[in-house]
Amino acid sequence: MATNIKKTSVANRVPNTFVLSTDGDIGVNTHDGKMYISNSSNVFEVGANISGNSYIGGNLTLGSGVLNWNTLEDCLDIQQEDGSTLQTGLENYIRVKNDTGQTIFNGTLVQFSGVNGDANPTCVPLLANSSFNPIYTIGVLTNDVPHNTVGRATVFGKVRNIDTTGATSGETWTEGDILWASATNAGKLSKIKPSPPNQAISIAAVVKSGVLDGELLIRPFISPKLLYGSFTSNATQNAVASNTATVVTYTTDEGSSGHSIVTYDGVTNGAIQCDESGEYNYQFSIQLQSSAANKVRVWIWSRKNGVDIPDSTGLLSIESNGGYAIAAWNIIVSMAANDKFQIMWATDDHTKLNIPAEPATAFCPSIPSVILTVTQATV
């Protein structure tokens, strides 16, 4: 059971059993120079006036916890009932429960997986792949936690007496290495930063290299999961009729997270679906070609969930037979989860103007008919 230390600087304030509610809780009045200790049913004043230096030559046992001064780290150690030690001022823990069905070992990186009836968050080994959301990161276990028991995860501070050589991750670590959440081995750390679409979560630094006596400094740097997408079409596209709205379609997902090509309103691959709510910047370029001898006009605009977005239309014209033009602009749209974004176009002569795709040449790559990129504008 943890020992709580309560402090006040208000003159003549004496804690009661509501404030010091657990056996061994300590209260300190820095204004009066007094210390109090509780056995949950009574509060006792330890010293009528602690005005000078006081010395306890050994450990102080409070309930099931033991206090002692750590001269190496220059801090107060609180030895817990489960064998872990909290270094006050240097470390922070979160109590977590393991309900995975097997022991999770000291030094394992864990994530939030839910809650249970005793108000402790449950945890599982963390895997920083493309589907993981970094906001579920907790920290690194500071002791072995058998199934259906509660342990502690360090969210800031040192985790000791573990293998920090990198061997358990198939790597070689040295002191000073920065470690990331692994995208391939659940609960493990790696000195190799994961590449997108996996999640890059900086977790720890190696402060002592060793097989049995290694130490990590834990300080997770958790940034929001950024969602993005890049989509192209390698197919030439034609309008369904003159002066008629036509949906731009896509053939290739060039790399995305949280966005995907979907069929919508009966048009195959005619929309980009957003998985999570937010503000997104949709930026596109469309290759246009005319085969008319006279001027041909084309309108391009955006839709969300099948509804035209106001003030999103642009108008271009091509005046030369065989002439090309590229329409390129962007729009920021507020999207809810599962909303659909579409690019629409129309021309006043569908027989003379299209959106062509061109093959690669000896000196340049192929030309997609459409390129659409999506970037997250807010978190």
Tens digits of per-residue pLDDT, 215-230? 999 999 888 888 999 9
Sign of CA dihedral 275, 277, 281, 284: positive
Residue 84, CB-side half-sphere exposure with 13 Å CA sphere: 28
What pLDDT score was predicted for residue 57? 55
Sign of CA dihedral 305, 308, 314, 320: positive
| Mean pLDDT within 259-284 | 96
What pLDDT score was predicted for residue 50? 43
Tens digits of per-residue pLDDT, 25-53? 888 888 877 888 887 677 777 754 444 45
> Any idea which of 2-16, 37-51, 90-104, 249-263 has the lowest mean pLDDT?
37-51
Q: Do the beta carbons of residue 241 and residue 219 sit within 8 Å?
A: no
Residue 134 dihedral angles phi and psi, to the nearest 5°: -60, -20
Sorted by sequence, the CB contacts under 8 Å of residue 123 that are 6+ apart come out as 96, 97, 98, 104, 110, 111, 112, 113, 138, 153
Tens digits of per-residue pLDDT, 326-377? 999 999 999 999 999 999 999 999 999 999 999 999 999 999 999 999 999 9
For 332-366, give the DSSP string.
EEEE-TT-EEEEEEEES-TTTEEE--B---SSS--
Mean pLDDT of all residues in the chain? 89
Sorted by sequence, the CB contacts under 8 Å of residue 5 that are 6+ apart come out as 25, 26, 27, 28, 88
293 CB neighbour count, 10 Å cutoff: 11
Q: Do the beta carbons of residue 199 and residue 183 sit within 8 Å?
A: yes
Q: Tokens standing for 375?
A: 């970037």
DSSP helix, strand, coil percent of the chain (3-state; round to 5): 0, 50, 50
Segments making up each domain of the chain, as ranges: 5-64, 92-221, 228-376
Tens digits of per-residue pLDDT, 55-98? 555 566 666 677 778 778 777 777 777 777 777 777 899 999 99
Q: Tokens standing for 303?
A: 């839709």
Distance CA 210, CA 234 (A): 54
> Any idea which of 4-18, 271-285, 335-349 has the lowest mean pLDDT?
4-18
What pLDDT score was predicted for residue 28? 87
CATH number of the domain located at residue range(s) 228-376 in this protein = 2.60.120.40
Q: Tokens standing for 169?
A: 């991750």
0.75 surpassed by pTM:
no
What pLDDT score was predicted for residue 104? 96
